[in-house]
Amino acid sequence: MQAAVVESVGGPFTIRDLDIEEPRPDEILVKITASGICHTDLSTRRAWPQSRLPMVFGHEGAGVVEVVGSAVTTVAPGDTVCLSYRSCGVCRSCASAQPAYCETGIRALNASGTRTDGSSPLIRDGSRVFGNFFGQSSFATHVLAYESNCVKVPASLNPVLAAPLGCGVQTGAGTVLIVLQPAPGSSLVVFGAGSVGLSAVMAAVAEGCSVIVVDPVGSRRAVARELGADAALDPAEYDDVAAAVRDITSGGTHCALDTTGQPAVVSQAIGALRHRGTLALVGIGTTAQFDIMALMTKGIQVRGVIEGDAIPQEFIPRLIALHGQGRLPVEKLITTYPFRDIEEAARAAVAGEVIKPVLTFG
């Protein structure tokens, strides 16, 4: 197999020849046909510990099942699949249909660089290469995945469209459709018009909501308008973004969604809400300060969200159905790159030149 390997902290993706182990009883060997590049891949490679390098990232894979372990029953060789996040299936959260909050932990199953026993299935010249990122490490021609993160999809679905469904689209659309559940005619403001934010826009428009987008990049604001947003604001043009949103919505939005993780933006999102409004936080950040009295006196709810609260096996088919109805035009977010050009794709994503780069494998 070949994989895009990161060999130093913050270093480039370098295509290397690797060996991959045969699947264990609970594992699924998938030949990758497309893989989305997510902001998480790019931010994580900048902070990944040197002790866990070299490493293969990637967590929006799509492909074809080649071999299944003896305990696997949900997919078979020849099935086309979309890969998502991994969960244990047995903890309290998983048992209560909330696998995104698996108590085994995001790190242990999705971001440790190894299987839970500390091993990695990837080898180069006799030495271990770390992987198993989100139970896949899809910046590679082949991966080992699991039943919890492997979703069968129609063979007719273009893998370039299928790949981003497993994380970015699922997170944005799921936050709207599963968590916020805005009523038709209600309003939503989305801070950040990347793939997650614009997926939220598409889902909200599909539900008949009025949507405002806030983003400093003009091309992304234009896409937001094309997708049905009623307004797209450049924050640099306003002294008080929250006040501008309240003016547009006659007192504030019913819901807000922050994809940035930036404390100042989170404060703007809170300020943009009307009484009893709800803010969903999906952007990765560190700390933020809230005006507690503003939350209390307005009855505002703040909700952290992982992967849109989605159960991939249930929600990804729903996303595919919405796309088939023309209500989730994911293709408008995508720019494709051949796998060999992964570093250029990553550069373009960081520079804001593209919204959702998707790698293709010939």
Q: What local confidence, expressed as pLDDT, does residue 346 receive?
A: 98
Domain ranges of the chain: 2-166+329-360, 169-307
Mean pLDDT of the region 318-327: 98
Q: Is the pLDDT of residue 288 over 90?
A: no
Q: Is the pLDDT of residue 119 over 80?
A: yes
Q: Is the pLDDT of residue 294 over 90?
A: no
Within a 13 Å sphere around the CA of 295, how many CA atoms are in the beta-carbon half? Answer: 12
* CATH number at 169-307: 3.40.50.720
Q: Is the pLDDT of residue 176 over 80?
A: yes
Higher pLDDT, 291 or 345: 345
Q: What local confidence, expressed as pLDDT, does residue 106 receive?
A: 78
Q: Is the pLDDT of residue 105 over 80?
A: no
Q: What local confidence, expressed as pLDDT, does residue 291 receive?
A: 85
Q: What is the mean pLDDT of the chain?
A: 97
Predicted confidence band of residue 174 (pLDDT cuts 50, 70, 90): very high
Fold classified for 2-166+329-360: Quinone Oxidoreductase; Chain A, domain 1 (3.90.180)
Rounded percentage of the chain residues whose pLDDT exceeds 70: 100
pLDDT digits (tens, 9 = 90+) for 130-168: 999 999 999 999 999 999 999 999 999 999 999 999 999
Mean pLDDT of the region 278-296: 89
pLDDT digits (tens, 9 = 90+) for 186-195: 999 999 999 9
**180 DSSP 8-state letter:** I
Work out the burial of residue 297: count CB atoms within 10 Å of its CB; fewer than 13 is exposed, 13-18 middle, 19 or more buried.
Answer: exposed
Q: Is the pLDDT of residue 284 over 90?
A: no
Integer Cα distance of 44 and 238 in angstroms: 32
Q: Is the pLDDT of residue 112 over 90?
A: yes
b/e 6-16 (16+ beta carbons within 10 angstroms → b):
beeeeeebebb
Q: What local confidence, expressed as pLDDT, does residue 280 receive?
A: 98
Three-state secondary structure of 69-137: CCCCCCCCCCCEEEECCCCCCCCHHHHCCCHHHCCCCHHHHHCCCCCCCCCCCEEECCEEEECCHHHCC
pLDDT digits (tens, 9 = 90+) for 244-276: 999 999 999 999 999 999 999 999 999 999 999
Q: Please, where are the H alpha helices in the chain?
A: 39-47, 92-95, 106-110, 159-162, 168-174, 195-206, 218-226, 241-248, 263-272, 292-298, 312-324, 342-350
